[in-house]
Each structure stands twice: as structure tokens, then as C-alpha cells.
Amino acid sequence: MNGVVKQLTVISGKGGTGKTTVLASFAALAEDKVMADCDVDAANLHLVLTPTVVESGDFYGAQIAVRDAKLCQQSGECERYCRFDAITTTDIDELACEGCGMCVVACPNGALRLETVSCGQWYLSETDYGPMAHARLSPAAESSGRLVTMVRQKAEDTAAERGLALVLIDGAPGIGCTAAAALADVDMALVVTEPTLSGIHDMERVVELSGHFGVPVTVLINKADLNAENTRRIRDYCVENQFELLGELPYDESVTEAMAHQVPLVEYRDGPVTEGIRQAWSRLSQMLSA
Ligand code: SF4
């Protein structure tokens, strides 16, 4: 690397394509890096890297309505105006409340107010492979895009404090706000895809999202031997769009076994998939250093 902190996000169009397997192996192969698990809705990098938490805190995102019982005259205006059926004259359903504030305005007695609540935790941890920022979103909580931004900020601060050269980001699948927050302003995206029609469609959507942020795209095909025709289509797609195809990994049972043993694949067993990931990392690190 060239002295500036670089950021790489590994993404996929949907869950289960092998994105975290690849990222965990990169964590074992790369030097001077911090990991950021930005798949906050379904975080699982910690299952492989087994972090020890050294710092943590609440994430305050959403607002919900809170009632002052002393002021409430049970007018029922809150219940009448709430479009989300989240409030009655006696109860507030915290999971249903969208924090729109309508009841606050409607209450003739000023008995309601909005309060910001904790909707998850962020963590800074140590792993055998370096520091890692991650998070856990409370059940049914939203604002996950902002939590991703917070996780990235923790990782970037750690890189700056410790003089690390790279932030390795496990992005969220899909094209929602968490996926977008994990991609914005990074130096490169690696799309891990599978040779299925839905895999190709999902890949095209995340490529479009990367294009929106002006992030250069590279591609890695996982389970490439499962459908030769679709693998050829992905190859053609990369050529047409001038995306570098970093490798074609065959299907291999040891991928699941490594996850079950909580070890990055490259440290679990040598084989074609491990070799493919090593080559992909070697090329990526060259590109990030350029
Ligand atoms: S803040 Fe909005 S969603 Fe929540 S209880 Fe009040 S009116 Fe309903």
C-alpha cells in the first residue's frame, strides 16, 4: 500500500454467495488492516474471526413517542392521528412507532414527546488477524445505514490511530441503505457472485449501485463449476463492462467446514478455492497499491 488508508468493500447481490468467506480469508492474508463488518442486519464475520470486544457503546438512531402520564388527559387524539396503530390512550407500541411525531402535535395537553432510543450496539474488538469494528442491531430496529456509517468510522479511526493501511469492509448484500452505506467513498468493490440467473441479476444491481458512487468494480465468481453457461455469461459481462474478473472458485465442501471450525478458509485447508482466493487477494492488493 502507498501510505494512504485504502478501503475495499466485498459485496454481493444477495446473502449466501460466499462474501464473508472471502472477506475472512482476506483478513488472514492482508497486512496492516482493520476489518469492518458492515452487514449489520445479519452480521456473521465474528463467527469466523472470533473477536474479543475491547470497547463498545450504544447506537442511538430512531426516535419514539414517550408519554408523560401526569399530563395525559386521555383525549384519544394520539390514537386517532397515528397512522401506524402504535399508540392508544394507555400504551405505546415501541416496535410499531415510526417516530413521525404526529401524536406529539395532536395531543392537546402536551403529554407526548419524541425521545431518541438505543437501537443497537457498536463494538471495537481484537482478533488474531487485527482489530475489527462491528455492530449488532436490536431486533426490528431500523436506521441500519447510519449504524454502518458508525462502524466504518470506528474502523477508519482505528486505522488512523494505529497507522494501518487498509480497511476491509464486509458489505451488506443487496442494494438497500446498508449496502449503499458500506460502498460510499471506498477505493474498490469486489462483487462475489454465483453463476445463477438470479445471481447475475443481483450482481448487475450491485454493480449499478457501485457505479452510482463511482467505485471501481472487480468480480469473483464463486461455485463457478455449478453452471458453465452462466459462468460464461458473467465472464462476458465483465469483458463488456471492463471489470476485472479476479477468479472463478469451484464448489468446495471445505468452505462450509471452515466456517463451522471458525477459521478463515485460507487457514483451514489448501485447495483450488484457497488458491483462487490467494490469487484474487494478490491482484487486489496490487490494484489498491497502484
Ligand atoms: S410518533 Fe408517530 S408513529 Fe409513533 S405513536 Fe406517535 S403518531 Fe404513532
Q: Residue 49: which of 125, 135, 137, 127 has the closest Cα? A: 127
Protein residue closest via CA to atom 8 of ligand 1: 82
Give the Å distance between the CA of 117 and the centre of ligand 1.
Answer: 14
Give the Å distance between the CA of 86 and the centre of ligand 1.
Answer: 6
Max alpha carbon distance in the chain (Å)? 71
The residues lining ligand 1, judged by C-beta closer than 6 Å to any ligand atom, are: 65, 81-82, 84, 86-87, 92, 97-103
Protein residue closest via CA to atom 4 of ligand 1: 97
* pLDDT tens digits along 235-280: 999 999 999 999 999 999 888 889 889 999 999 989 999 999 999 9
Burial of 140 (0-12, 13-18, 19+ CB in 10 A): exposed
- The amino acid occupying position 110 is G
- The amino acid occupying position 208 is E
Q: Residue 132: which of 58, 27, 57 has the closest Cα? A: 27
Tell me what the mean pLDDT of segment 105-109 comes to.
96
Tell me what the mean pLDDT of segment 212-219 comes to.
96
Q: Which of 63, 64, 80, 93 to mutate to test the pocket of ligand 1 (most atoms within 8 A of CB)?
A: 64
- The amino acid occupying position 64 is I
Residues 6 or more apart whose Cβ sits within 8 Å of residue 258: 21, 48, 264, 265, 267, 268, 269
pLDDT band, very low/low/confident/very high, at 3 (cuts 50, 70, 90): low
* pLDDT tens digits along 58-94: 998 889 999 999 999 999 999 999 999 999 999 999 8
Give the Å distance between the CA of 69 and the centre of ligand 1.
Answer: 16
The DSSP string of 160-226 is: HHHT--EEEEEPPSSSSHHHHHHHTT-SEEEEEE-SSHHHHHHHHHHHHHHHHTT--EEEEESSGGG
> What's the pLDDT at 273?
94
Give the Å distance between the CA of 139 and the centre of ligand 1.
Answer: 19
For the cut 90, the answer to whether the pLDDT of residue 173 exceeds it is: no
Domain residue limits, the chain: 6-50+128-289, 63-118
**Angular region, 17: left φ>0, alpha ψ -120 to 50, beta rest:** alpha
Q: What is the rounded distance in angstroms from the CA atom of residue 61 to the CA atom of residue 38?
A: 16
Q: Residue 47: which of 122, 134, 120, 131 has the closest Cα? A: 134
CATH superfamily of 6-50+128-289: P-loop containing nucleotide triphosphate hydrolases (3.40.50.300)
- Could you please state the CATH topology (level 3) that the domain comprising 63-118 is classified under: Alpha-Beta Plaits (3.30.70)
Backbone angles phi, psi at 7, to 5 degrees: -130, 130
> What's the pLDDT at 256?
87
Contact by Cβ (8 Å): 13, 167: no
Give the Å distance between the CA of 39 and the centre of ligand 1.
Answer: 29
Contact by Cβ (8 Å): 222, 18: yes
> What's the pLDDT at 2?
47
